[in-house]
Amino acid sequence: QVQLVESGGDLVQPGGSLRLSCVASGFTLDYYAIGWFRQAPGKEREGVSCISTREDIIYYADSVKGRFTISRDNVKNTVYLQMNSLKPDDTAVYYCAALEVHDVCVFAPLGLDYWGQGTQVTVSS
C-alpha cells in the first residue's frame, strides 16, 4: 500500500519544540520532492517548507524561517520537520506530500502525487 504517514504532532507550550516525521511506505522517497504544509481552522492550506530529492533546493515560508528545519533520510524513507521556538500561530494540522520530480521544491499544495493524513500541532499555554 502506497502511503505517507505523519507523526510527532502534539500540544506544546509557546517556545517549545517538536519534530515531525513523514514516513513513506510502498514507494521510495529517493525520487520524490517533499513538501510540508499546514492548515489552520478556517484558513487555506499553505506551504511551510520543501526539499528536493538531492537536498540542494530547500525553501521555507517567511513565517517559519530561522525556526523550522527540513531534512530527509532516504535510507529510512523519512522526511523530518524540526520545529523550534513554536508560536500559537503555528497551530495547525501539518501534512507532508510528495511529487515524483527532481531538482524541484514543491511548495504549492496542488498536483502532488501523495499526501499524508496529517498530524495536529497545537501551541498553547
Q: What is the pLDDT of residues 21-58, one digit of tens each?
A: 999 999 999 999 999 999 999 999 999 999 999 999 99
Output phi, psi for 45, to 5 deg. Answer: -65, 135
CB 21 within 8 A of CB 118: no
DSSP letter for 123, please: E
Distances (CA, A) of 87 to 11, 38, 49, 110, 115: 12, 14, 17, 26, 25
Q: Quick one: how many helices (H) and strands (E) in the chain? A: 0, 11
What is the average pLDDT score of the chain?
Answer: 96
